[in-house]
Amino acid sequence: NAGVTQTPKFRILKIGQSMTLQCTQDMNHNYMYWYRQDPGMGLKLIYYSVGAGITDKGEVPNGYNVSRSTTEDFPLRLELAAPSQTSVYFCASSYPQDNQPQHFGDGTRLSIL
């Protein structure tokens, strides 16, 4: 099984550019999440989804948008890239039960210059 797959692995953007970070999972998980991790810090939740067509904001949603048209895919959109969005982005998925673990992708390392 591929698990959670994120693309691209690395990207450099100029200020004001836009891009979409892709995330797909093959485990038929209902719940999907986007986190960001700044250097030396833990992960912070950006957006999450409890199923296709349903998304909601997390702790740090400003500057980002998401959509969930299928169970498998949960893309994260940056509309106007800013230096503060330089970070490592992780996508995760899980079953809805509280005792089920989250499965993470390997991350996208994004630099805004």
Partner 1 sequence: DAKTTQPNSMESNEEEPVHLPCNHSTISGTDYIHWYRQLPSQGPEYVIHGLTSNVNNRMASLAIAEDRKSSTLILHRATLRDAAVYYCILRKYGGSQGNLIFGKGTKLSVKP
Min separation Cβ 4 and partner 1, Å: 8
Task: Point out which residues bind partner 1 (CB under 8 A).
Answer: 4, 31, 33, 35, 40-45, 48, 50, 56, 58, 90, 92, 94, 96, 98-99, 101-107
The answer to whether 24 and 77 are in contact (CB under 8 A) is no
Rounded to a whole number of angstroms, the minimum distance from the CB of residue 21 to partner 1 is 13
Distance, CA of 73 to CA of 37 (rounded, Å): 21
CB of 99 to partner 1, least distance (A): 6
Q: Taking a C-beta distance cutoff of 8 angstroms, is the pair 103, 4 a contact?
A: yes
